[in-house]
């Protein structure tokens, strides 16, 4: 199938470039032209088809409005037309109706996917408090050591012996 599409493109490009697509240079020259045009972006991917399919997500407001519209349908075939217009299956309506009956807007909101967050540690507050207290005490200890160091230097300058005073 892909080769057929390439052949059709080759013929179209050949006609645009003034070649009839038959005979000389078709296999050699045209392939190079097509590849060059694809590389340059002149011939891009098909805009109708997405590269990667994405899962559609419907908000609670959209679901409720669609359910209201479906509930208002009274003629045969109206719900089918609504579903075709929106690109949905009837199972979506059934599921959304059950969710609506089960608990209104909260039940219609999409569930959060992935891992659940870790539970809060009950001792986290106490740990933070103790860490702050530890930092405060370390700072006060550093100040006290600085004062003691200063007192020793003053004692040396004045010639006062601190050992005799400490033994008292």
Average predicted confidence (pLDDT) for the chain: 76
Own/partner long-range contacts of 9-16 (Cβ < 8 Å, ≥24 apart): 9/34, 9/43, 10/34, 13/37
Average the pLDDT over each of 24-33, 90-99, 120-129, 147-156 and give the range with the smallest value: 24-33
Give per-residue pLDDT as tens, 61-104: 888 899 999 999 888 899 999 999 999 999 999 988 888 887 76
Say whether pTM exceeds 0.75: no
Q: Residue 89's pLDDT is what? A: 92
25 — pLDDT class (breaks 50, 70, 90)? very low
d(CA 111, CA 106): 10
What is the torsion angle, in degrees rounded to the nearest 10, for the CA atoms of residue 162, residue 163, residue 164 and residue 168?
A: 100
- Say whether pLDDT at 34 is over 90: no
In the numeric block, which tokens belong to residue 73?
Answer: 């349908």
41 — pLDDT class (breaks 50, 70, 90)? low
């Amino acid at each position: 199938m892909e080769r057929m599409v390439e052949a059709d493109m080759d013929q179209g490009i050949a006609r645009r470039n003034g070649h009839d697509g038959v005979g000389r240079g078709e296999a050699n020259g045209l392939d190079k032209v097509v590849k060059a045009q694809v590389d340059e972006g002149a011939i891009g991917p098909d805009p109708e088809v997405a590269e990667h399919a994405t899962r559609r997500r419907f908000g609670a407001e959209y679901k409720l409005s669609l359910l209201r519209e479906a509930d208002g349908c009274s003629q045969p075939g109206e719900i089918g037309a609504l579903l075709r217009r929106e690109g949905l299956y009837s199972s979506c309506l059934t599921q959304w109706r059950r969710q609506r009956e089960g608990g209104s807007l909260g039940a219609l909101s999409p569930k959060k996917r992935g891992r659940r967050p870790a539970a809060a540690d009950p001792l986290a507050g106490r740990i933070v408090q103790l860490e702050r207290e530890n930092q405060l005490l370390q700072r006060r200890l550093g100040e006290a050591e600085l004062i003691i160091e200063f007192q020793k230097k003053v004692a040396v300058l004045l010639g006062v012996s601190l050992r005799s005073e400490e033994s008292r």
